[in-house]
Chain A
Amino acid sequence: MREGKDALQELVIRDRDHECEGYGASKVCVKVVAVADLPTRFGRFRLVGFWNNRDGKEHVAMVHGEVVGEEDVPVRIHSECLTGDVLGSLRCDCRDQLTEGLRAIAAAPRGVLLYLRQEGRGIGLLNKIRAYALQEEGLDTVEANRALGFRDDERDYAIAAHMLTSLGIRSVRLITNNPDKIRQLTQHGVVVTGRIPHVIPPNEYNRFYLETKARRSGHMIDLAENRIPEQSDPVLVEGMPPR
């Protein structure tokens, strides 16, 4: 049992009638609507649920430790990937990236993982399946994936920036291998004081990143080269040779 209201629950009351101009081109506005404890296999988190004014997608933040009003808070932004996160797909590295993100944040004194919902609307997932089918045909899929709506970074950063602001975080250290994410978040007014590389420990499913020999022959090459970077974050596996 918690005693009294904590800082996160105060945000629910603060945001009851929150309305602002919105962030980014789509002028998205979010508000904190629900908070609860969420014990996980990685450690204790508080789950913060957001409402937004643009679509029915319920974005959430996994919060570890005290973050409201804090500086230099480690933050990982993760985009929902049903096939990877939940179904254990090896077409992407989302599950490894998610679990390592949660593990790293739980191990730190404080931190936040923003989990951005992508596929709430049927079409997102359907077009992703279509994109996979095109990939199977060995097609040049970069432009095709764009049309299939595979990623919408601009939207993601706008939502992420508003969520971080709503959480009262004064500055962040972003857990990413993609420096462009820092620039994008900064554009939306988030103060980024540093970057923490997102390094995944080797396991039997990402081993091929380490086996340079295997990259040149055999099926490993397909797995490594054909993965779609769904988190717009290059994968870095511990011990991986520089590309």
Chain B
Amino acid sequence: MSGDGGVLVVGAGVAGLSCARALTDAGRAVAVVDRARGVGGRCATRRVEGQAVDTGVAFLHGRDPAFTAVLESVPATCLSGWPVDVHGSGRPCQPEAFGPGERRLSYAEGVNAFPRHLASGLRVRTRAPVERLDLSGKRSRAVLEGGEALEAGTLVLALAPEEAQRLLGSVPEPPGQVASALAVLGTARSDAALALAALYPREAPRPPWQVSYPEDSSILQIVSHDSSKRTAPAFLALVCQAHPRWSREHAEEPLWPDLVLGELARLLGRWALAPVHRHPHRWRYARTDRSAELASPLLFPLPGGCRLGLCGDRFAPGGGVEAAWISGRALARRILAEEDA
């Protein structure tokens, strides 16, 4: 029998869900765990005072026909082409997002509609942080905080590279393959992004753009006019994300949200200093630079008999949500191909 032992995917971001989806569709037994309360990872939508706010990814973009087809199949109100009105000549988080042939969109319900769609029908367990791994036997073991151990023939880490490194660092007597995986993960670091969602009364001056990449700010890389995605927003919502370097340097500084608001006020006017609600979030591993990208996911057969796979947005060319989705699917295909071989 092929594929016995099942697959455990750690990380319910787009890469992990894409991998789990493809394996499930091929009839494999798959379980997904994530430490967070919901699925989607950085494809995150929070409810702030009842209003949906995208605090990570502001919009989705890509050109792979299979990927854009999945985006369009999401049962949500698709905002095709969003953002249409782009302001500023600063460097976008992903410059290729505005390249020719690139499809852009968002959802009125929030970008999280995409990962939730990927997760529908999957066995996903949230609030289940994995603490350590044991990869010595025929079945891999992921031990959750609290001591419960989950077993599977194939273990997939669909995490930020630094988080995968931390878990692989917990493997007792690591075989050479784990050392190789750690070395590949160690070839580059993720960029951080400090993100602040600021909500203002509906009467506040509305920016005449949907996304701004301010060219003259050393603090803010992107300001997303989030409420312009919503059908009947109660608030004007702006989501600011700081440049990678500034974010890294200020991540431990308690007052960083005030510095971000100060910069926003400099760009938009003094009214922006005083939102009625604010929701700060530190994305420690927000994205990887293009210079760090890898060509494909990793899949190692281990001496004890289990297999270790790694995927994520760094494990496919192009970066971003599209690369995450592609890497997860590519890893699933390799897992299936090696079972059939």
Contacts and interface: CB of A to CB of B under 8 A. Distances in A.
A151 B199 CA distance: 49
Interface in A127-162: 127, 130, 133-134, 137, 139-141, 143-144, 146-150, 152
Given A144-B298, A146-B296, A147-B297, A139 B291 contact: no
Interface stretch (B39-47, B180-188, B228-236): B180-188
A149 B295 CA distance: 5
A152 B295 contact: yes
A123 interface: yes
A230 to B, nearest CB: 15
A134 B294 CA distance: 14
A28 B295 CA distance: 18
B296 A122 contact: no
A26 to B, nearest CB: 11
Contacts of B295: 127, 146-150, 152
Contact of A143 (B293, B300, B315, B317): B300
Identify which of A126, A140, A147, A149 gathers the most chain B CB atoms within 10 Å of its CB: A147
Interface in B276-314: 290-291, 293-300
Contacts of B315: 147
Contacts of B187: 127, 130, 133-134, 148
B183 A139 contact: yes
Contacts of B179: 137, 139-140
B180 A140 contact: yes
A137 B183 contact: yes
Contact of B294 (A122, A140, A147): A147
B176 interface: yes
Nearest to B334: A146
Nearest to B187: A130
A134 to B, nearest CB: 5
Nearest to B295: A149
Contacts of B297: 147
B300 A123 contact: no
Nearest to A134: B183
Contact of B184 (A122, A123, A126, A134): A134
A140 B291 contact: no
Given A137-B183, A148-B184, A143 B291 contact: no
B177 A122 contact: no
A149 B296 CA distance: 7
Contacts of A137: 179, 183
17 contacts: A122-B291, A123-B290, A123-B317, A130-B187, A134-B183, A134-B187, A137-B179, A139-B183, A140-B176, A143-B180, A143-B300, A146-B295, A147-B295, A148-B187, A148-B295, A149-B317, A150-B295
Which 4 pairs, one residue from A and one from B, show the smallest C-beta to C-beta distance?
A149-B295, A140-B176, A139-B180, A147-B294
Given A137-B183, A143-B298, A152-B295, 14 more contacts: A123-B290, A123-B317, A127-B295, A130-B187, A134-B183, A139-B183, A140-B176, A143-B300, A144-B184, A146-B295, A146-B296, A148-B187, A149-B295, A149-B296
